[in-house]
């Protein structure tokens, strides 16, 4: 490959640092701040590597020609001769064309298109996350945000809609209004159908106007129903993908309803995109405490030796919401709590928790280990699953609706709004350790946490002080993902005094007390990773296949046999059956405690 290198000439002293690779069908045109315009032939492959120094910049083409600007001299120097050879490559007309690539430290631009910009996810999460990245200085200098949807809307109307959901960091309020105004100036809107190549071609034209001839990198966020993923991807790929940079597509869950539909979706996506272009987002993987999970384990000597069946009695992954399906009943009834929460959010956390030490922090090494965990898991049996559905309940003079009271939900719906399951990993590290999952809506509180209950101390000298309930003496590590993020370890200690009275206390890392900085939203981290091409928090296709293979058989059995869910009152702790399931494996749910840290 030919290179741009630097040679000495007394005419110029200005030089700069840049790097770029170009291999395009059309001629590339460059503008140097200290050089004449020139064109590179279509078949030329050029690598720019200009070092800042006192030497003079020159251009070495693939055929060996060098271009540089030198002061006039009486006799033709070897450098001038080489320059003449380079200039003969192109016609004089091409020198007059406008440069399409500005070689400087900001030679590229990023265009972010939110497909489905008028929806709730875009308004509540995606646009606010993009603004937060801009406010923190994490976005490139040259970027544009485009909203794309079927709704008729002007740029001004989009900006007004977006402005209502933007907020600044609690710890960084200065220049908030000014930053919002600057960000909104970068936001534009284009109305079009999701299956129209013509509409996407019009979008492409607008994007090019904003990109101004720079290397264009394009990110499409599909904030749309899964049944129109493929149409949108097809049109974006054929009519609005980048011609000289990267094109990436973020796909929101659900990724199908079972193994077959998921495989069909993946196959259809790969007709238009490579696997490296597809970013399957699970926003729970962007949560701060989930990110900290591997740091906690792999960078602290006290935890890694304990991370196995020898010391861990059970692991609990708990997700609960204190509200129902208000506004999402129609969507939710098609999927249910198992598909909506357990098969993706909780299973992804389980894989991160249980994986072996990866070779490195590279995305593929981490995802390889997660896939090994999923493939080692025992197929889920119907008897290891409990399902429930919330019913109407009155409390404090307020009547809360049942799931089937939602007008978008069939009155005879059997879709579970609660599920609990016991899963097992059949490998040397975790053989026999139950991994209990629990997820539900309309429960008594809102939380997402990982609870690690350790084994009892063999021959504990202080057993008589705890009485017959040894669970009271169990050490427990709790990683609270949300809300009020924290990590705490429950230990046993002596109460001060002359007697021997034991107490259970917490070694507590409370994030709000320890760190003054506001914790970024998960979408901020994931959007930034997608822009930077970092894939470790996104789901690979074989990982998705392994996850669905665990849950598809039991989901099919639940639907074929029309298993009745156990009803539980709105605002309660869920079905009683979940406690029987845990008791079968000699486990007590850790979230039943009433101490101050739970």
Neighbours of 206 (CB within 10 A): 16
Query: Is 579 designated active site?
Result: no
- The number of helix segments (H) and strand segments (E) in the chain equals 18, 26
- As beta bridge partners, residue 3 has 47
Tokens at residue 364, please? 């593929």
Tokens at residue 165, please? 């959901």
Neighbours of 305 (CB within 10 A): 9
* Residue 583 main-chain phi, psi, to 5 deg: -65, -30
Residue among 55, 190, 345, 510 flagged as catalytic: 345
- Compute the C-alpha angle 479/293/343, nearest 5°: 85
Q: What's the CA gap between 113 and 130, in Å, rounded?
A: 11
- Compute the C-alpha angle 414/418/422, nearest 5°: 115
DSSP state of 1: -
Q: What's the CA gap between 29 and 98, in Å, rounded?
A: 8
Contacts with 471 (C-beta within 8 Å, 6 or more apart), sequence order:
588
- As beta bridge partners, residue 147 has 114, 189
The 3-state DSSP class for residue 8 equals: coil
Q: What's the CA gap between 532 and 543, in Å, rounded?
A: 22
Asked if 213 contacts 102 with a C-beta cutoff of 8 angstroms, the reply is yes
List, by residue number, the catalytic residues: 345
């Amino acid at each position: 490959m030919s290179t741009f290198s630097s040679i000495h000439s007394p005419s110029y002293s200005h030089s700069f640092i840049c790097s770029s690779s170009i291999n395009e069908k059309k001629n590339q045109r460059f503008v140097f701040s200290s050089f004449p315009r020139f064109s590179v032939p279509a078949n030329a492959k050029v690598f720019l590597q200009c070092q800042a120094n006192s030497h003079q910049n020159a251009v070495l083409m693939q055929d060996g020609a060098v271009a540089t600007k030198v002061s006039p001299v009486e006799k033709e120097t070897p450098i001038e001769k080489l320059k003449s050879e380079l200039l003969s490559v192109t016609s004089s007309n091409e020198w007059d064309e406008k440069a399409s690539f500005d070689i400087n430290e900001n030679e590229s631009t990023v265009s972010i298109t939110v497909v489905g910009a008028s929806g709730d996810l875009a308004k509540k999460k995606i646009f606010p996350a993009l603004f937060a990245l801009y406010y923190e200085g994490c976005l490139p200098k040259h970027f544009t945000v485009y909203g794309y949807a079927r709704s008729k809307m002007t740029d001004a109307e989009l900006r007004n809609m977006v402005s209502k959901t933007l907020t600044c960091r609690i710890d960084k309020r200065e220049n908030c209004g000014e930053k919002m105004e600057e960000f909104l100036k970068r936001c534009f809107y284009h109305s079009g159908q999701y299956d129209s190549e013509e509409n996407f071609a019009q979008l492409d034209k607008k994007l090019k106007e904003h990109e101004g001839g720079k290397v264009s990198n394009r990110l499409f966020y599909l904030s749309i129903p899964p049944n129109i993923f493929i149409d949108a991807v097809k049109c974006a790929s054929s009519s609005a993908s980048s011609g000289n940079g990267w094109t990436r597509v973020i796909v929101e869950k659900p990724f199908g309803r079972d193994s077959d539909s998921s495989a069909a979706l993946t196959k259809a996506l790969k007709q238009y995109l490579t696997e490296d272009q597809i970013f399957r987002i699970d926003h729970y993987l962007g949560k701060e405490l989930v990110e900290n999970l591997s740091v906690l384990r792999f960078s602290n000597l006290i935890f890694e030796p304990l991370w196995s069946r020898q010391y861990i009695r059970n692991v609990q992954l708990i997700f609960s919401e204190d509200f129902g399906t208000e506004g999402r009943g129609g969507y939710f009834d098609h999927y249910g709590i198992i598909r909506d929460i357990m098969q993706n959010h909780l299973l992804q956390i389980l894989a991160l928790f249980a994986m072996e030490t990866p070779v490195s922090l590279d995305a593929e090494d981490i995802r390889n280990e997660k896939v090994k965990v999923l493939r080692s898991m025992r197929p889920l049996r119907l008897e290891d699953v409990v399902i429930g559905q919330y019913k109407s309940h009155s409390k404090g003079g307020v009547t809360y609706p049942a799931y089937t009271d939602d007008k978008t939900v069939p009155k005879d719906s059997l879709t579970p709004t609660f599920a609990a399951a016991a899963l097992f990993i059949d490998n040397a590290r975790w053989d026999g350790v139950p991994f209990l999952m629990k997820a539900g809506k309309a429960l008594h509180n809102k939380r997402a946490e990982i609870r690690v209950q350790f084994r009892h101390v063999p021959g504990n000298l202080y057993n008589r002080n705890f009485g017959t309930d040894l669970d009271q003496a169990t050490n427990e590590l709790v990683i609270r993902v949300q809300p009020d993020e924290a990590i705490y370890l429950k230990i046993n200690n002596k109460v001060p005094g002359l007697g021997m009275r034991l107490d259970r206390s917490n070694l507590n890392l409370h994030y709000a007390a320890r760190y003054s900085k506001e914790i970024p939203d998960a979408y901020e981290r994931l959007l930034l990773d997608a822009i930077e091409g970092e894939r470790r928090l996104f789901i690979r296709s074989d990982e998705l296949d392994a996850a669905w293979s665990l849950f598809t058989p039991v989901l099919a059995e639940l639907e074929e046999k029309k298993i009745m869910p156990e009803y539980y009152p709105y605002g309660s702790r869920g079905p009683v059956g979940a406690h029987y399931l845990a008791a079968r494996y000699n486990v007590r749910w850790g979230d039943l405690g009433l101490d101050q840290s739970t």
